[in-house]
Structure 1
Amino acid sequence: MNAPPPPPAYVMLDGQGKKNGNYGPPPSGRRNVPRYNSDYYPKKSGGSSCLRCICCCYCILFLLIFIVSVLAFYFYTVYEPKVPSYKVQSLDVKSFDLLPDFSLNTVFLVTVEADNMNKAIGFTYGQGSSVLVEYTDSRLCSGSLPNFHQGPHNTTLIQIELKGRSEFGTGLQQALQDSKEKGRIPLLVRIQVPVSVVVGEISSRQFHVFVNCTLVVDNLAPGKKIGILSSKYDFDLTL
């Protein structure tokens, strides 16, 4: 007796869930995968690379500021820099002549004391300096400082010959005569000099030192000792 055929491995159902006698091949294992448009994904922006570049620049700038700060702290701690001081030690009048054309011919010899108190820093005084002596905003005479190098822990006396010829009208003559009678003649000495700082073998770029010295002297007679009754100093530095 023949055995009945084995049941099919699968059955097909129609739309109503009933068996369909038309047995076709099994469905394929492939599926239709939906395709996505590449525009769906956002593109990488160039702003991120700019941000990284800015961060890198800031890091380098911060590093440079840190290095400069450390070097400045080391310099000020080790060398203890001090600004040199200047003082008009004496004033000698060689000539103070009022000429017939109401001009004044003057020759002064000014001695300036430059004191460098630094223990390891020197100064080089360069060309282009000027020294002026004024009386009530009128220039009497002028000159310049010599070029020289001043080492550490050094005090130098600088003698400067100043010459000048200026208009000296009746108003200035009367004011000067009144000052002479009172024994208090106000003078203003202006000093401007380019200076370089020297540390060991290294010399810095030049900067300009300005010194204004307000003096009150007892007389301006040629060949007579001039007494300095009072003095006041103002200092300034520019690069």
Structure 2
Amino acid sequence: MHRPPPYGMAGDGRPPPYPYGGGEYYPQERRRGGNVCVRCICCCYCVLFFIVLIIAAIFLYFFTVYDPKAPIYKFEALDVKEFGYNDSNINADLIITLRADNPNKAIGFIYEEANTFNLTYSGSTICSGKFPSFHHGQKNVTMLQIELKGKNPFAKGLYESLQVSESHGKVPLTILAKVPFRFVLKDSKLRELSILANVTMSVHDMKLGKKTEIDQGKIDYHFEK
């Protein structure tokens, strides 16, 4: 069966106009450029990546050139000038010998005067003193003597505990210190920081006029601005 054409012919033999109106149809093009927020986030990530890369390069340069090492401190001896206690207070005058070793080739340390240095027993302060201010130069070993004095009240029960520790010949002590210092890179001084140290030790004898060795235990420390 013969089907009619999809459209009829006009009177002059030409096909009728395009069914969607005049002219040819062109699909609308999508807008270019993407989402502005996405581009902004990408830019931020790129900037952050380059900042991290620069910081990593600075740290790599610092550790390669200066090769930083932590200084080594060891409490070697305790000189008992005065030491007495009863059930209410304790009176002490002690001198601690400290060996400070700076193994760095290009980094020094300057220790400031404003500091605290306390010797305690079971959380109770026995005596206090000052860490000496000095410039700890590169590749240097310095022996320091720190005098600690004090007459302080004893917490309840520590009198008997200290007697037992002395009878066993091993008195557990703790040093609590806060010492401000500065790093020195060659001739440049950096900003001031403070080191907070907690050092445990055992002293074999606390007899008057005797110099005894110290068994140094764990050292905990952290820095603060």
**What TM-score, normalized to structure 1?**
0.74
Counterpart position of 1:210: 196
Describe how 1:136-215 pairs up with structure 2 within 5 A.
136-168=122-154, 171-215=157-201
Contact 1:211/1:233 (8 A) holds in 2: no
Measure, in 2, the Cα distance between the counterparts of 1:202 and 1:225.
Answer: 40
Q: Does the CA contact (< 8 Å) of 1:198 and 1:204 recur in 2? A: yes
Aligned residues: 205
Q: Which residue of 1 aligns with 2:117?
A: 131
Question: How many Å apart are 1:190 and its aligned residue?
Answer: 2.2
Paired residues for 1:1-239 under 5 Å = 16-17=11-12, 48-98=35-85, 102-168=88-154, 171-228=157-214, 230-239=215-224
Q: CA RMSD in A?
A: 2.8
Name which of structure 1's ranges 59-68 and 191-200 shifts more when overlaid on structure 2. 191-200
Q: Deviations over 1:53-107 (max 9, x none)?
A: 33222222211111111111111122110011111122112221336x8321111
Distance 1:149 1:226 in 2: 28
TM-score between both structures, scaled by the size of structure 2: 0.78
Asked if the contact 2:85/2:159 (under 8 Å) is kept, the reply is no
How far off is 1:232 after superposition? 0.8
Distance 1:75 1:62 in 2: 20
Larger radius of gyration: 1
**Shift in Å, 1:233:** 2.9
Kept in 2: contact 1:79–1:120 (CA 8 A): yes
Q: Distance in 1 between matches of 2:22 and 2:11?
A: 27
Residues 181-228 of structure 1 show CA distances to partners (whole Å, capped at 9, x for unaligned) of 221111112232222221123333233323332222222122122233
C-alpha distance in structure 2 between counterparts of 1:17 and 1:175, whole Å: 125
In structure 1, stretches of 5+ residues that fail to align are: 1-14, 19-31, 35-39
> Secondary structure of the residue that 2:128 maps to in structure 1?
strand
Match of 1:7 in 2: none
| Between 167-176 and 62-71, the greater mean CA deviation after superposition | 167-176
Q: What are the Cα deviations for residues 142-199 of structure 1, in whole angstroms up to 9, with x where unaligned?
A: 1221222211101122221112222236732222222222211111122322222211
Distance in 1 separating the partners of 2:170 and 2:11: 130
Code of the residue aligned with 1:207 in structure 2: it is L
- Paired residue type of 2:54: I
- Letter of the 1:186 partner, please give it: P
C-alpha distance in 1 between matches for 2:211 and 2:170: 14
Structure 2: unaligned runs, 5 residues or longer? 1-9, 14-20
